[in-house]
Structures are given as structure tokens and as C-alpha cells.
Amino acid sequence: MQNGSGFEKYRCYRLENDCLQLSTMDLGATVTSLRFHGREMVLGYARAETYRERDAYLGAVIGRCANRIAGASFSLGGEIFRLSANEGSKQLHGGPEAFDRRVWTGEATNQQLRFFLSSPDGDNGYPGNLQAAVTYRLDGACLRMDFEAICDRDTVYAPTSHLYFDLSGRGRALEASLQIQADRYVEVDEELLPTGRLLPTRGRYDFRRLRPIGEDYDHCFVLDGQDCCRLEDSGVALEIRTDFPGVQIYTGRFLPPPHHANSGVAIEPCFFPDSPNQPGFPSVLLPKERRFHRWIEYHFRKTQ
Ligand code: GAL
């Protein structure tokens, strides 16, 4: 990190092996850099404060609930919970001062990095005292993330990782090729809220075969199984596996400077948008004292 970049204000942790070099910081449990054989694979900022100034969620952990919640409210056990809204009347990515802007407690060994966060009862409107943990681990050319949590009340929990990938380093994500193991996607309205319908992935939504991304997307795909997707560009292939039920693909239409529109693609294995209000979607209910656990694996490979 360069002098004057401001990262000394935060605790930064690194993991590395022969293939991968991971840099993180405690603000948002954020991945600030991920290098594969020395080449940068993700978008980051040169200055630490830019992570606070912009709201692109670069590399951050999102919580408590990723994506949008209609009317910034939901009901659980007959009670209505009002959340803090930060996108008109909706809540986006857990609210205005959510997990991506919190300073997590880090713990490093040479094998893994763990980040912990206590989210108090009523945090951005969510019920219960929630203890969240995120673990980063390297295994050869694989970065694995584990998301764990436990709460002292029934609550909802739907975190994700908001990494933007640019495997080429050229800032032209739409030229990368993508394959998504999804026969359906979540239909959304003009406010990007689900209609409740899951539609077949036809035409522009059909990524069952590897093909250039080509145009803008901001959609959640319904995964068939744990093989999530593959991204290929400039001699590198990234395969993502997960036990989350969906993946949000966001091609960065509104990426703020110093990046530009479409300079990276956010691939967010996650639950579906507005899940707390959608009885037909996989449940994000986290019952009291029940352990939450979901994982994501990022496997890198050279193709040339
Ligand atoms: C994505 C979301 C986009 C946008 C972005 C943050 O996860 O799908 O609609 O809100 O985060 O700029």
C-alpha cells in the first residue's frame, strides 16, 4: 500500500500461497485486492477513505440482508419490522450504515482470516442481537469464504460478498465470457423489486453456455445446484461454487470514479432480492440460537 493511502487507519490482513494473494481490511471485512499469479482479479480503491465515500460496496461483506427490501419492512412472527431505508422507500444492502461500513474484529492465522461483528438488536431495524463471522481461506488456487451467524431472537439473515471481478485488468467487464448454471431468473420491476415470478432463462438471460456478457445486467439467477458460474477473460477462468440458492450479476452500470461504468462485474452468490417479503422464495429466516452457515468458493485457473 502506498504512503498516504489511509489504509494505516484500518487493520489490514493478508493471506498468500503460490497462486493467490489476498488483501483485506477490517472496514467491511473487505477484500481490497486478490491477485492470481501476481495479476489483480478484483476492483479496489487506492485510498481507504474512498471505500466510505462511494457506495459501490467494492469487495465488502453485505449484511444483514443483501439486495432490496420493498418498503423497508417485513413481518416475522406476526410483528412488523421497519428497517432503515436508503434507496427511496426501500432498503438496499442492509441499510445506510450496514455491515460494509462497520469495523469488524479481525483474527489472523497463517491458514485463514476470520472477521467478527456484533450487530445489536434493532440494527438498521433488524431484530435480535446477531453475532456474525466471515472466514477467508486459501487452498491452492481457491479462495473460500464461510459466512456464519447466530442470533438470540428469530430474525432474517442473507449476507453476501460484493466482489467485482475484472480478470483482464482492462476495465471492460462486458467483454468477459460468463456461464451461469441457471434455468430460471428472478423477474424484477423497474425498481428492481421481484414480482414473485421466476422466469425461464431465455434469450438475453440464457447463460447456460459460456458466452460474452455483452450488455448490462442487474439480475438474480436461480442456481440449479452448487456449480454457480464461470467467468473467463484474458487467459484466466474463475469458477464459483456456492450453497447459496442464487447469484446476483451486476455489471457495474453505476460504478463511480475512479472506476467507470462496466469496469467490473459483481458476482454475488446470495438469497433472492426481497426474500423476507416473498413467501415463494428460499427462506432467509434464521431461528433463534440456530447456527447460520453458507459458503462460496472462488477457483482460479489459467486457460492459456
Ligand atoms: C448490486 C445491486 C445493484 C446496485 C449495486 C450497488 O448488488 O444489484 O442494483 O445497487 O449493488 O451499487
pTM: 0.97
Residues within 6 Å of ligand 1 by CB? 56-57, 92, 192, 218, 248, 250, 254, 266, 268
Catalytic residue status for 87: no
41: left (phi over 0), alpha (psi -120 to 50) or beta: alpha
**Cβ neighbours of residue 100 under 8 Å, at least 6 residues apart?**
28, 30, 57, 60, 61, 62, 93, 94, 162
Catalytic residue among 93, 162, 219, 259: 162
For the chain, list the domains and their CATH numbers: 12-302 (2.70.98.10)
The pLDDT value given to residue 111: 85
pLDDT at position 120:
98
Res 1: pLDDT: 54
Mean pLDDT by 10-residue block, N- to C-terminus, for the chain (304 residues)?
A: 80 97 98 98 96 95 98 97 98 98 94 96 98 98 98 98 97 96 98 98 98 98 97 98 98 95 97 98 98 98 94
Query: Is 268 marked active-site?
Result: yes
Residue 174 CA to ligand 1 center (angstroms) comes to 16
- Which set of grid coordinates corresponds to residue 39? 495479476
Rounded Cα gap, residues 192 and 68, in angstroms: 8
Q: Which three cell numbers stand for residue 125?
A: 431495524
